[in-house]
Amino acid sequence: MKLIKIALTKGRLEKSIIKMLEEVGLDCSELKDKGRKLIFHDNINSVDFVLAKANDVLTYVEHGASDIGIVGKDTLMEADKNFYEVVDLKMGNCKFSIAALPDFKLEDGYNIKKIATKYPRVAKDYFRQQGMDVEIIRIEGSVELAPILGLADAIVDLVETGETLRENGLVIVKDICNISARLIINRASMKMKKDEITELIGKIQKYVEE
Amino acid sequence: MNKWKRYIPEGTRDILFEDCENRSYIEEKLRELYRKNGYNQVISPTLEYYDVFSGEYQPLPQEKMFKLFDNNGRILVLRPDMTTPIGRIAATKLKTQPLPLKLCYNASIYRINEDWNGRFSEISQSGIEIVGIKGSRADAEAISIGIKALEEVGLEDYKIEIGQAEFFKTLMDETKLTQDEKEALRRIVEHKNFTSLREFLAENSENIEDDAMDILGKLPELFGTIEVLDYARKLTKNKKALQALESIQEVYDLLEKRGFASHIVIDLAMVQHIYYYTGTIFRGYSSEVGEYILSGGRYDNLIGQFGEELPSTGLALNIDNIMLALKKQGKYTPRNNANFLLYYEDSNIGRSKILTSKLLDLGFVCEQSLFTNEEETRSYQQAKGIINLIIFGKAEDLIIYNMNTKKEKTIDQREFLEFIGGKHEID
């Protein structure tokens, strides 16, 4: 058995991913009792896990430092990197949406609209596809503030329940696309460790479908 | 003012000592391999007109090319690729030469990368182009040279995957999808995105024939050993698609006869750059590197833009990635250090010359001390870790100091040479 290195995204999705990995037969006992460690072994199968920030998962998998990664579609869309994106895990479901104060109208007027977002590439690509010229302002956190403070006309952000928007008096203007967690594979690993990896993909695919 | 004086640009690097030596070693091995197989080397300019690389068969988007202007305001680029310049040469300067042309090169290419992502802007490439001939023999030759190259430099545990650009294009022709939809589908297949593929096919079912539906749905899975071809043949009746599969089979058979079958895998979902490539395409991977170590394929239309229709195929080895793989496999030659340090007074230069040339003949590496006194020479020996210091004494005497054993002894020059035979250290 060749060693398979899996990079998982820290945070929100961690629990449901670990549950899935256990269901498909991996030993996640070290992962569940992690302390300050960064790398964890599966004591039964030839598998190592690391926990990393979403963007780092992409970097590790793209360079082949990890063979497999589990990461949100939002991060994938923003990064535009090269790997196989084999399974939609149907977890961590949410969507990219355009939101603004209630009086905002997307198609109104000829002035360039200002859009604040944590995802400039996603926003730029979407508006370019729509043939709209917008000015994008990158914000690092709490994007909802931007229209309230008058910095931007609207925002592009991930929306899960819409609660934060509502509490801050913003409404969804339009949904861009649905987002969920994905299983990604390094291109070389897929070829060099085909048997091990396709077996795991098969099991995960089955788990997702059930 | 001189803020950047001591730095090098993002994405570049200085290559030192053992990295340099290993690179030269690999490049020489490859050059020798090409030469022995009848390939002639070409060197093209680092700077080319932007026009050479722009247009339908653009190897990469314009924002990824380094650009500058010449004295007349024309746009120049640092070449982002070697195949295109070789195509230009073939269609202009070499158009009266007998075909096929067998050309080889070893050069740096330049590509702009995103900052901070661990990639280099200057990439060292070595490869061949077989210009002016169609057919599986040429395709198989390009792949064989690639495999031989990896063997020649001592790499183990690698795979070459073969695909066919026409296979996917033919399946696309059978559908009623728009150009944009085809591109969306190509991206889905490229990323082996099973989930999106299923959704896409369901949404576009009325524009895709049932026959194409079957095989497109399975496309991302169609990779692995040669049996994949048999499976794929059962999934389609499209004549051109079957022909594409047949051409992979032909190339595979030729490689199998050469004993390379164990390195070959098939991937029918290799659909990167399918507008540039027109037939057999391939990529090589090693377990140690996350990216491909070699790539290539058939490009029958590319050279036409330079005025001559010359069907061609080629191979490019990524020297940097091969070096990385070799290093991780422990096949890296360590830094070259001298075996002997020679110190002598000016009056002994004649003697030292004779001794040096004998030591060199025996395969030793000798450094001449450039210091004018023994003291400094001795501390240089220690600092640099050169095992043997030879000091030229009176008459034919040599004083030899071994820094490992810390012993010093005097020996006659002739006796020393007889004694030394094939040994690196003198005790």
Q: Which residues in chain A have their CB less than 8 angstroms from residue B286's CB?
A: 188, 192
For B267, nearest residue in chain A (alpha carbons)? A191
- Name the residue with tokens 């570049």: B12
Same domain, B85 and B128: yes
Q: Distance (Å, rounded) from C-alpha A177 to C-alpha A57? A: 22
pLDDT higher than threshold 50 for residue A27: yes
Locate the domains of chain A by residue range.
Answer: 4-92+180-209, 94-178
Q: Which residues in chain A have their CB less than 8 angstroms from residue B192's CB?
A: 84-86, 185, 190
**pLDDT tens-digit series, residues B283-308:** 999 988 989 999 999 999 999 999 99
> Which of A187, A207, A209 to mutate to probe the B interface, most B CBs <10 Å?
A187
The sheet with strand B40-41 has its strands ordered as B40-41, B101-110, B122-131, B312-318, B294-298, B280-286, B158-164, B264-267, B223-224
In this predicted structure, what is the pLDDT of residue B414? 84
Which of these, B90, B81, B76, lies nearest to B48 by C-alpha position?
B76
Question: What count of Cα atoms within 13 Å lies in the side-chain half-sphere of residue A55?
Answer: 6
Cross-chain residue pair A84–B292, CB shorter than 8 Å: no
B195: nearest CB among A2, A62, A87: A87
For the CA atoms of A14, A20, A21, A25, what is the dihedral angle to 10 degrees? Answer: 160
Mean pLDDT of B115-121: 80
B192: nearest CB among A61, A84, A192: A84
Q: Distance (Å, rounded) from C-alpha B80 to C-alpha B59? A: 8
B95 in a structural domain: yes
Same domain, B265 and B126: yes
In this predicted structure, what is the pLDDT of residue B421? 67
Q: Distance (Å, rounded) from C-alpha B235 to C-alpha B216? A: 9
In this predicted structure, what is the pLDDT of residue A12? 84
A191: nearest CB among B194, B220, B265: B265
In this predicted structure, what is the pLDDT of residue B418? 80
In this predicted structure, what is the pLDDT of residue B1? 66
Contacts of A36 (CB under 8 A, 6+ apart): none
**pLDDT tens-digit series, residues B265-287:** 999 999 888 788 999 999 999 98
Exposed e or buried b for every residue in A181-195, given b needs 16+ CB within 10 A? bbbbbbbbbbbbbbe
In this predicted structure, what is the pLDDT of residue A13? 86
Structural domain of B284: 17-180+221-328
pLDDT higher than threshold 90 for residue B310: yes
Confirm or reject CATH 1.20.1250.20 for domain A94-178, answering yes or no.
no
Judging by beta carbons within 10 Å of its beta carbon (0-12, 13-18, 19+), is residue A77 exposed, middle or buried?
Answer: middle
B30 in a structural domain: yes
* Selected residue with higher pLDDT from A74 and B273: A74
For B118, nearest residue in chain A (alpha carbons)? A63
In this predicted structure, what is the pLDDT of residue B427? 45
Of B303, B328, B353, which residue sits at a domain end? B328
Distance from CA of B195 to the nearest CA of A (A): 6
B186 in a structural domain: no
Q: Which fold has domain A4-92+180-209?
A: D-Maltodextrin-Binding Protein; domain 2 (3.40.190)
How would you classify the pairing of strands B388-392 and B158-164? Answer: unpaired
B215 in a structural domain: no
Concatenating the DSSP letter of every residue in A42-103 gives ETTTTEEEEEE-HHHHHHHHHHTSSSEEEEEHHHHHHH---SEEEEE---S-EEEEEEE-TT
State both tokens at B312: 């061609």
Q: Do domains A4-92+180-209 and A94-178 have the same CATH topology?
A: yes
Same domain, B296 and B347: no
B191: nearest CB among A85, A189, A194: A85
> Coil, helix or strand for A24?
coil
Of B293, B328, B363, which residue sits at a domain end? B328
Contacts of B381 (CB under 8 A, 6+ apart): B341, B389, B401, B403
Same domain, B348 and B273: no
**pLDDT tens-digit series, residues B178-193:** 988 998 999 999 999 8
Answer yes or no: are the C-beta atoms of A46 and A64 closer than 8 Å: no
**pLDDT tens-digit series, residues B146-160:** 999 999 999 999 999
Cross-chain residue pair A86–B118, CB shorter than 8 Å: no
In this predicted structure, what is the pLDDT of residue B424? 44
Range name among B22-31, B112-121, B205-214, B395-404 with the lowest pLDDT average: B112-121
Count of Cβ atoms closer than 10 Å to residue A68 Cβ: 29
CA B87, B90, B93 angle in degrees (round to 5)?
130
Above pLDDT 70, what percent of chain B? 98
* Selected residue with higher pLDDT from A37 and B312: B312
On average, the pLDDT of chain B sits at: 92
In Å, what is the CA distance from A62 to each residue of A84, A181, B36, B92, B118? 10, 17, 37, 40, 11
* Selected residue with higher pLDDT from B68 and B395: B68
The sheet with strand A4-9 has its strands ordered as A39-42, A47-52, A4-9, A68-72, A181-185, A84-88
B2 in a structural domain: no
Q: Which residues in chain B have their CB less than 8 angstroms from residue A64's CB?
A: 289-291
Same domain, B152 and B39: yes
Cross-chain residue pair B196–A86, CB shorter than 8 Å: no
Cross-chain residue pair B290–A62, CB shorter than 8 Å: yes
Cross-chain residue pair A86–B157, CB shorter than 8 Å: no
**pLDDT tens-digit series, residues A143-159:** 999 999 999 999 999 99
Cα-to-chain-centroid distance, residue B103: 15
**pLDDT tens-digit series, residues A167-198:** 999 999 999 999 999 999 999 999 999 999 99
Count of Cβ atoms closer than 10 Å to residue A149 Cβ: 9
Q: Which residues in chain B have their CB less than 8 angstroms from residue A205's CB?
A: 194
A188: nearest CB among B193, B224, B285: B285
pLDDT higher than threshold 70 for residue B141: yes
Exposed e or buried b for every residue in B90-110, given b needs 16+ CB within 10 A? bbeebeeeeebbbbbbbbebb
Mean pLDDT of B342-349: 94
Same domain, B292 and B410: no
In this predicted structure, what is the pLDDT of residue B58? 87
Concatenating the DSSP letter of every residue in B320-333 gives HHHHHHHHHTT-PP
pLDDT higher than threshold 50 for residue B425: no
Cross-chain residue pair A88–B196, CB shorter than 8 Å: yes
Distance from CA of B4 to the nearest CA of A (A): 28
Of B328, B357, B386, which residue sits at a domain end? B328
Same domain, B386 and B255: no
For A3, nearest residue in chain B (alpha carbons)? B287
Same domain, B74 and B136: yes
CA B272, B242, B186 angle in degrees (round to 5)?
25
Stated as kind and residue range, the H or E segment containing B52 is helix B50-53
Cross-chain residue pair A191–B267, CB shorter than 8 Å: yes
Q: Which residues of B touch A (CB under 8 A)?
A: 117-118, 157, 159, 161, 191-196, 220, 223-224, 265, 267, 285-287, 289-292
pLDDT higher than threshold 60 for residue B422: no
Give the CATH number of the domain where residue B146 resides. Answer: 3.30.930.10
pLDDT band at B395 (very low <50, low <70, confident <90, very high): confident
How many domains is chain B built from? Answer: 2
Mean pLDDT of A106-122: 87
B26 in a structural domain: yes
Same domain, B322 and B403: no
Cross-chain residue pair B118–A85, CB shorter than 8 Å: no
Enter the ipTM.
Answer: 0.79
pLDDT higher than threshold 60 for residue B135: yes
Instruction: Read off the pTM.
Output: 0.87
